[in-house]
């Protein structure tokens, strides 16, 4: 049996296990996806095990997306630019190639809600962490217009702007900046790339400040309707959570490991009961 695992800590949810193993079963593959909770000190040993035992690959979540990069043989350009690896493909000789599915997943989720007309659009992204990096990268590559990134401290989005200098022009702001309200009022798209709505209550910004014609995309997928999404829909706005992003990320990695057709339909059906549940426990 071939192995694939997710490394991280803490690992509280089974969504990835359910999706990948359903796809393996549907394809008749003798493979399994499992969770392996590992701290920074143990990551190198787990990566070494994957290499020596001939795994198909593995995935990485917080807090190891940057740390793992030093343990790999090759990192694809997009992942290098974003500064994070969340998936690894293993060759038959144990050669480990790191890639990132966050951008493809994010853009699939956003396009399902907003459509493909992204060029020149004014976008506000809340959050400059790992998902924020991927969101900004995907949006810039799609040719959006003004791209404002907001976080608790302006130093965080300012650092992102410096990282992406020459690739994207980013306007960094702190939530407390009075100009944030103006940018929200002018936005065509608002993205929540933080954990607000899942790990803490309420919307990340005052929804009443967002342009009522804007699309609202929340990367959070638990609960199924965050307060941000609920309030946006109540105003008649197009709004969606991160469930499409979750499945697209998984399907992208799975096809990379197996070389088989896209398992999105199988994965979506398998994970639907978990997404419908408000339970955050494993």
Q: Active-site residue numbers? A: 65
Binding-site sequence positions: 61, 86, 102, 127-131, 219, 221, 242, 249
Distance CA 3, CA 23 (A): 14
Residue labelled with tokens 């976080």: 151
The mean per-residue pLDDT over the stretch 130-156 comes to: 96
> What is the β-pairing status of strands 57-60 and 87-90?
antiparallel
Binding-site sequence positions for NADP(+): 127-131, 219, 242
Statement: the pTM of the whole predicted model exceeds 0.75: yes
Specify burial of residue 212 (Cβ count, 10 A radius: 0-12, 13-18, 19+): exposed
Any idea what DSSP says for residue 248? H
Which CATH number fits the domain that encloses residue 262? 3.40.50.10860
Residue 281 has pLDDT above 70, yes or no: no
| 269 & 224 share domain | no
Return the pLDDT at 66: 93
Copy the structure tokens of residue 185: 């009022």
Q: Is 171 helix (H, G, I), strand (E, B) or coil?
A: strand
Return the pLDDT at 135: 96
Q: Which residue has the higher pLDDT, 92 or 57?
A: 57
Copy the structure tokens of residue 201: 């209550």
Residue labelled with tokens 């079963």: 25
| 229 & 118 share domain | yes
Lowest mean pLDDT among 36-50, 90-104, 196-210, 232-246: 196-210
Return the pLDDT at 9: 92
| 165 & 44 share domain | no
Q: Is residue 46 part of a domain?
A: yes
| 108 & 206 share domain | yes
The mean per-residue pLDDT over the stretch 43-68 comes to: 95
The mean per-residue pLDDT over the stretch 69-94 comes to: 95
Residue 39 has pLDDT above 50, yes or no: yes
- Give me the chain's average pLDDT, please: 95
Residue 94 has pLDDT above 50, yes or no: yes
| 139 & 222 share domain | yes
Copy the structure tokens of residue 151: 């976080």
Residue 26 has pLDDT above 60, yes or no: yes
Between the alpha carbon of residue 16 and those of residues 115, 164, 202, 271, the distances in Å are 26, 30, 26, 8
Beta strands of the chain (E only): which ranges?
2-8, 31-37, 57-60, 74-75, 87-90, 96-99, 123-126, 147-151, 170-174, 189-192, 215-218, 238-240
**Residue 280 binned pLDDT confidence (cut-offs 50, 70, 90):** very low
Beta bridge partners of 145: none
Which CATH number fits the domain that encloses residue 150? 3.40.50.720
Per residue in 232-244, pLDDT tens?
999 999 999 999 9
Residue-range definition of the domain harbouring residue 166: 103-241
Q: Which residues contact 8 (CB under 8 A, 6 or more apart)?
A: 37, 38, 60, 61, 62, 63, 64
| 132 & 201 share domain | yes
Instruction: Report the 3 state secondary structure along 78-134.
Output: HHHHHCCCCEEEECCCCCEEEECCHHHHHHHHHHHHHCCCCCCCCEEEECCCHHHHH
Q: What's the structural domain count of the chain?
A: 2
Residue 86 has pLDDT above 70, yes or no: yes
Binding-site sequence positions for shikimate: 61, 86, 102, 221, 249
């Amino acid at each position: 049996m071939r192995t694939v695992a997710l490394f991280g800590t803490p690992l509280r949810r089974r969504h990835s296990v359910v999706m990948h193993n359903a796809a393996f079963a549907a394809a008749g593959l003798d493979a399994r996806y499992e969770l392996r909770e590992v701290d920074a000190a143990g990551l190198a040993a787990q990566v070494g095990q994957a290499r020596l035992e001939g795994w198909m690959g593995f995935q990485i979540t917080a807090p190891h997306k940057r740390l793992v990069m030093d343990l790999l043989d090759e990192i694809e350009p997009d992942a290098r630019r974003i500064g994070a690896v969340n998936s690894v493909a293993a060759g038959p000789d144990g050669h480990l190639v790191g890639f990132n599915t966050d951008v493809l997943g994010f853009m699939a989720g956003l396009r399902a809600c907003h459509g493909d007309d992204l060029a020149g659009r004014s976008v506000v992204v809340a959050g400059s962490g790992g998902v924020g990096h991927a969101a900004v990268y995907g949006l810039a590559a799609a040719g959006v217009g003004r791209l404002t990134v907001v976080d608790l401290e302006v130093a965080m989005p300012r650092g992102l702007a410096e990282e992406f200098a020459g690739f994207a022009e980013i306007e960094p702001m702190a939530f407390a900046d009075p100009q944030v309200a103006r940018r929200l009022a002018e936005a065509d798209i608002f993205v929540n790339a933080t954990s607000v709505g899942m790990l803490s209550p309420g919307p990340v910004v005052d929804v009443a400040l967002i342009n009522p014609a804007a699309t609202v995309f929340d990367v959070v997928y638990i609960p199924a309707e965050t307060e941000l999404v609920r309030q946006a829909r109540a105003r008649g706005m197009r709004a969606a959570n991160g469930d499409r992003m979750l499945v697209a990320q998984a399907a992208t990695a799975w096809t990379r490991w197996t070389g088989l057709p896209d398992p999105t339909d199988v994965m979506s059906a398998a994970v639907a009961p978990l997404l419908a549940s408000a339970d955050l426990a494993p």
